[in-house]
């Protein structure tokens, strides 16, 4: 008689374990898909940031070579000495270049590239599983 009454408990436990394993497998597949999507987004962001850095370098070189001479000549024509005209123009152009470089490097920071949504979901999933296992253990203990 004991063996027959034990049988439904074993079947229920087996079914419950099967459900848990199936749920965990679905959860892992979902998290991996999210991780892939976030990694792709991070790579796109990194490519965009590198593109900004390349553009900044090209614009900086072009600006220094093409506009600097013209701007210096214009400031000299306004009465500034050639030395100070060159310093003023060079400093202004470098501020623009440094701004673009700073923006590009900030976009490449690890905190901007980290998979934030995946980590948040993993924490929530772990909390959910912990509460499910805890409530299941508590209900069995009271039975």
* pLDDT attached to residue 1: 46
- Mean pLDDT within 34-50: 89
Full-model pTM: 0.39
Q: Is 81 helix (H, G, I), strand (E, B) or coil?
A: coil
pLDDT tens digits, one per residue of 96-134: 889 999 998 888 887 776 777 777 777 887 788 777 766
CB-based contacts of 72, cutoff 8 Å, min separation 6 = 82, 85, 86, 89
Distance of CA 118 to the CA centre of its chain: 10
Supply the pLDDT for residue 55: 93
């Amino acid at each position: 008689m004991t063996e027959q009454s034990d049988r439904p408990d074993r079947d229920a436990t087996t079914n419950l374990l099967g459900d848990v394993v199936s749920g965990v497998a679905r959860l892992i597949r979902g998290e991996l898909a999210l991780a892939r999507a976030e990694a792709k987004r991070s790579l796109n962001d990194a490519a965009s940031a590198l593109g900004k850095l390349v553009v900044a370098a090209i614009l900086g070189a072009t600006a220094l070579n093409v506009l600097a001479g013209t701007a210096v000549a214009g400031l000299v024509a306004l009465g500034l000495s050639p030395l100070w005209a060159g310093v003023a123009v060079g400093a202004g152009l470098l501020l623009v270049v440094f701004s673009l470089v700073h923006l590009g490097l900030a976009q490449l920071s690890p905190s901007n590239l980290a998979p934030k949504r995946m980590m948040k979901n993993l924490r929530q999933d772990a909390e959910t599983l912990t509460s499910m296992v805890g409530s299941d253990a508590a209900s069995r203990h009271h039975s």
